[in-house]
Amino acid sequence: MRRRQRHELQQGRFCYSYGDLRPDIYAAAVPLRRGAHSEILVMNCVVQSYQIRSGDLEREIGPRLAALAESLDGGVR
């Protein structure tokens, strides 16, 4: 995980990428835990770059993913 993404995850409960691996693919992700010492699972949303505007990942998609993770059993911890 890159330094910027680790910081974003610690600050906002999700991380995002505007084409870091492929310029045409954008993504946001949140961690999920089932218990204090269990594996960390990841829930993500991946979209083509032409489907969203700049800023949508951190303003809309990331917060929605984080809220969904919180609502699931285990949530983000």
Domain ranges of the chain: 3-71
Check residue 50 and give its pLDDT.
Answer: 94
Distance CA 66, CA 61 (A): 9
Q: Which token pair is 24?
A: 């045409």
Report pLDDT digits (tens) over 15-66.
Answer: 889 998 899 999 999 988 766 677 778 899 999 999 999 899 989 999 999 8
Tell me 43's DSSP state: E
Structure tokens at 57: 């990942």
How far, in Å, CA of 65 to CA of 45, rounded? 8
| Third-level CATH fold of 3-71 | Beta-Lactamase (3.30.450)
